[in-house]
């Protein structure tokens, strides 16, 4: 069983003064993986600039554009189509699930294998003694992560326009409001503090079921369960990532997954808008 998805991504950038030279990089192509087929890509810009495919520092495909003429605004439109297998997040032998034992997680070979997803970053750093969810050593790792998912979902109120991409957990725990990347960062910070490797995932969420996160790119988390592997948690919606989650990239935090990076040479400010639509056919 599979879904056929068509995703459109639109972005528009406008500048106060004409910029003379500009480069953009889009980290928006759905990843090819066990449940996602290689996507068909259509990409256009209002300037008709040629685009090229490259890879970022972690090997995820990016679209890159360089403009050598003056412009005041530019629009981009990308369309991806792919098939996604129906995903059952619990498709593993429950016998493999392990209890939460900090001591075992703290062993050197395990920490070494995942150190990039265990170390804290400026966006996922939790102050010592922050009033957050604490793992229960009496239950399993999966139960703890599901409880964490629910805790983050209940602790933060989904509100757009309050936080920004550089909001730290310290600020967030005061505001208690935010959008998907804030939910993801909080989950990651708490999981890592308990010795569970966790990574930030950016992608698209198929709406239609009233989930939060439409019309923009979505963010969720993958946490590593020993013996089972990486499992997706979506704390913004208190669900497991499954068929409706179309993954683009993962990284240590938002900064590794920023969908659009632009470098322009010219004075003045800029305004930027994005829009995302996900359509499915069965």
Partner 1 sequence: MPKTQPSIFSAYQRNPALFDEVFDREGSILKDYKRLMKLYGKQSIEDYHELNARAKASFFNQGITFRVYSDDKTNEKIFPFDLFPRIIGASEWAFIERGAIQRCKALNMFLWDLYHDRNILKDGVVPLDLVSSSENYLDQMRGMDPPGGIYNHISGTDIIRHADGRYYVLEDNIRCPSGVSYVLSNRGALKRALFGVFNHYKAHTVTDYAENLLDLLETVKPHGVDIPVTVVLTPGMYNSAFYEHSYLAKTMGVELVEGRDLFVENDFVYMKTIRGPQKVDVIYRRIDDLFLDPMEFRKDSSLGVPGLFSAYRKGNVTIANAPGTGVADDKAVYSYVPDIIRYYLGEEPILANVKTYRCGQPDDLEYVLEHVRELVVKPVDEAGGYGISIGNTLTDEQVEKVRKEVRESPRKYVAQPILSLSVHPTYIEETQAFEQRHIDLRTFTVMGQDKTYVLKGGLTRVALRRGNLIVNSSQGGGSKDTWILKNEP
Binding site for partner 1 (CB under 8 A): 21, 23, 25, 52, 54-58, 62, 64, 66, 108-109, 111-112, 115-116, 118-119, 252, 258, 261, 263, 265
How many angstroms from the chain centroid is the CA of residue 252? 10
Nearer to partner 1, 242 or 260 (CB): 260
Q: How far is the CB of 45 from partner 1 (least distance, A)?
A: 16
175: helix, coil or strand? helix
Nearer to partner 1, 258 or 276 (CB): 258
Q: How far is the CB of 28 from partner 1 (least distance, A)?
A: 14
Which positions ≥6 away from 60 have C-beta within 8 Å?
27, 29, 31, 248, 249
161: helix, coil or strand? coil
215: helix, coil or strand? coil
Nearer to partner 1, 191 or 258 (CB): 258
Q: How far is the CB of 263 from partner 1 (least distance, A)?
A: 5
Q: How far is the CB of 115 from partner 1 (least distance, A)?
A: 4
Nearer to partner 1, 35 or 124 (CB): 124
DSSP 8-class letter at 266: S
DSSP 8-class letter at 113: H
Nearer to partner 1, 65 or 278 (CB): 65
Q: How far is the CB of 21 from partner 1 (least distance, A)?
A: 8
Q: How far apart are the first and last CA of the chain?
A: 9
The candidate with the shortest Cα–Cα distance to 259, out of 189, 181, 156, is 181
């Amino acid at each position: 069983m599979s879904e056929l998805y068509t995703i459109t991504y639109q972005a528009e950038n406008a500048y106060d003064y004409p910029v003379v030279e500009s480069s953009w990089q889009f980290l928006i192509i759905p990843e090819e993986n066990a449940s996602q087929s290689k996507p068909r890509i259509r990409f256009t810009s209002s300037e008709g600039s040629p685009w090229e495919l490259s890879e970022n520092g972690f090997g995820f495909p990016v679209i890159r554009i360089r403009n050598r003429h003056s412009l005041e605004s530019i629009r981009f439109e990308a369309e991806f189509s792919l098939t996604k297998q129906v995903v059952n997040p619990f498709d593993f032998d429950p016998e493999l699930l392990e209890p939460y034992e900090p001591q075992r997680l703290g062993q050197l070979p395990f920490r070494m294998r995942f150190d990039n997803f265990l170390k804290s970053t400026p966006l996922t750093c939790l102050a010592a003694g922050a009033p957050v969810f604490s793992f229960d050593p009496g239950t399993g790792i999966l139960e703890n992560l599901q409880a964490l998912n629910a805790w983050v979902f209940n602790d933060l109120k989904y509100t757009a326009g309050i936080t920004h991409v550089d909001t730290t957990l310290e600020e967030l725990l005061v505001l208690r409001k935010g959008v998907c990347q804030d939910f993801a960062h909080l989950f990651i910070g708490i999981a890592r503090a308990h010795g569970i490797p966790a990574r930030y995932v950016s992608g698209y969420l198929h709406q239609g079921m009233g989930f939060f996160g439409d019309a923009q790119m979505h963010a969720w988390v993958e946490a590593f369960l020993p013996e089972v592997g990486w499992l997706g948690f979506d704390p913004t919606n208190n669900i497991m990532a499954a068929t409706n989650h179309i993954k683009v990239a993962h990284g240590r935090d938002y900064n590794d997954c920023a969908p659009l990076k632009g470098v322009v040479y010219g004075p003045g400010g800029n305004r930027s808008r994005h829009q995302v639509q996900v359509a499915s056919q069965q």
